[in-house]
Structure 1
Amino acid sequence: MKKTLTALAIMFTFIACEKTVENKDFKTAYIDTSKMMEESIESKDIEAKYKDKAKVMGGQLDAEVARWKSEAASYQKDAQANGQAWAQQKGAELQKREQQLNYAQEGMLRQLQQESGVEMDSLVKTYKKVIKDYGKEKGFDYIYGTGEANSVLYAKEHYDITKEIVKMVNDKYKTSDKKDDKKDEKLDVKPDEKK
C-alpha cells in the first residue's frame, strides 16, 4: 500500500512538474481597462456628446426653474396682500410645479444615463472583440483586465499592452471617422447635418 501511494505521489509530482514547464510557455498580458476608456478617442467623443446634450436639455430646464423661482419670490411678497386662501392655493401650485421640475430633472438624467449607457456598452463589446482578435493575432494565451473591476492583483509592467490597444482602437476610430466624412462629402452633407 505504501509503495502504491509513493508511486502515485511520484507520478503526480512528475505531472505537476510537466504542467509547470508547459505553463512557462504561456503568453500573457493585461490591459488597464479604466485607462483604456479614459484615453480612447471614441469614449471621449461619446462623453462629450452627452455633456453637450445635458447642457442643451439642462438649459431648457433652467429656464423653467428660473420662472418658478421668480414666481416663488413674488408669491412671498403678494401672500399677505392677497389673503390666506390665495396664499394657500398659490403655494400648492408652486409646490406642485417644483415637484414637476424635480421629476423632469430626474427624467432627463435617467434618459441621458440610459442613452449613454447603451453607447458605452456597445463600445465595450467592440473593444472586447478588438482585444480578442489582438490576442489571437499576437498569440496570447491570456489577456487580463485591470482597472475598476480588478481581475489582476499584480503583474509586471512589461505585460501591460494598454497603450498598444488604445492606439489600435483610436487609429481604427479615426479611420472610420474619415470614412464617415468622405461619405458626407459625397452626399454633400455638412458634418453638423449628420444624424
Structure 2
Amino acid sequence: MKKTIFLIAFAFAIISCNKTTEIKEFKTAYIDTSKLMEESTEAKDIEAKYKDKAKVMGSQLDAEVAQFKSEAASFRENAQKNGQAWAQQKGSELQQREERLTYAQQAMLQQLQQESGVEQDSMVKNYRKIIQEYGKQKGFDYIYGSGDVSPSVLYAKDSYDITKEVIKLINDKYQSTNKKEETPKEEKK
C-alpha cells in the first residue's frame, strides 16, 4: 500500500514536472499611452491646428459678442428714457440675439470637436498599426497600454516601458510622411 501511494505520488510529480517545462515565457512590454499622446509630433500638430482654428473662428464670434455687450449696456442706459414699450421690444431683440450667439458658440465648439475627433481617431488607428508592426518586428508576445486613459496594466517594471522607443518611431514615420507630402507642393511652385 505504501509503495502504491509512493508510485502514484512519484508519477504525479513526473507528470507535473513535464507540464511546467512546457510553459513558455512571454516577452512583454508596455506603452504609457498618455505620454504617447502628449509627446508625439502628430498629436501636437493636430492639437495646435485646432487651437489655431478655434482662435480664428472664435475671433469672428468675439466681435459679435463685443457688439452685443455694447448694445446691452446701451439698452440699460436708455431703457428708462425711451419707455417701457421700447424697453420690452429692444429687450426681446437682445435676448434673441444672445440666444443666437450662444447657439453659434455651441455649434462652433461642436464642429471643432467633431473635426479634431476624426483626425485623432485616424491617428490612433495608425498608431495601433505601427505598434503592431513594432511588436512583431521585436518579437513581443504582448504590449500593454498604461496611462490615464483606460489603463490596461496594473503593474509593470520600468524595464518593460517602450514608450520612448515607440514615440520616436511614430515621430520619425510622421516626419518622413510630411516630407514626402511637402516635396510635391514645392515642385508645383
Q: Deviations over 1:81-107 (max 9, x none)?
A: 111011001001101111111111011
Q: Distance in 1 between matches of 2:134 and 2:14?
A: 38
Flag structure 1 segments of 5+ consecutive residues without an equivalent: 189-195
Q: Distance in 2 between matches of 1:103 and 1:8?
A: 78
TM-score for the superposition, normalised by structure 2: 0.90
- When residues 158 and 90 of structure 1 are mapped into structure 2, their CA distance, relative to the original with a 3 A threshold, is same
Q: Distance in 2 between matches of 1:185 and 1:58?
A: 32
Q: Distance in 1 between matches of 2:14 and 2:95?
A: 80
Question: In the alignment, residue 182 of structure 2 is paired with which amino acid?
Answer: D
Superposition pairs for residues 38-77 of structure 1, below 5 Å? 38-77=38-77
SS of the residue 1:60 aligns to: helix
Q: Distance in 2 between matches of 1:71 and 1:16?
A: 83
Q: Distance in 1 between matches of 2:57 and 2:11?
A: 72
Number of the residue aligned with 2:151: 150
SS of the residue 2:143 aligns to: strand
Q: Distance in 2 between matches of 1:9 and 1:101?
A: 79
SS of the residue 2:144 aligns to: strand
Superposition pairs for residues 12-161 of structure 1, below 5 Å? 13-14=16-17, 17-19=20-22, 21-22=23-24, 24=25, 26-147=26-147, 148-161=149-162
Question: In the alignment, residue 89 of structure 1 is paired with which amino acid?
Answer: Q
Number of the residue aligned with 1:193: none
Question: In the alignment, residue 167 of structure 2 is paired with which amino acid?
Answer: V
SS of the residue 1:145 aligns to: strand
- Runs of 4+ displaced beyond 6 Å: 5-9
Give the total of aligned pairs: 182
- When residues 82 and 135 of structure 1 are mapped into structure 2, their CA distance, relative to the original with a 3 A threshold, is same
Q: Distance in 2 between matches of 1:60 and 1:93?
A: 21
Question: In the alignment, residue 136 of structure 1 is paired with which amino acid?
Answer: K
Q: Deviations over 1:23-56 (max 9, x none)?
A: x2x1110000110110000100000000000000
**Among the aligned pairs, what percent are the same residue?**
63
- When residues 102 and 170 of structure 1 are mapped into structure 2, their CA distance, relative to the original with a 3 A threshold, is same
RMSD: 2.0
SS of the residue 2:29 aligns to: strand
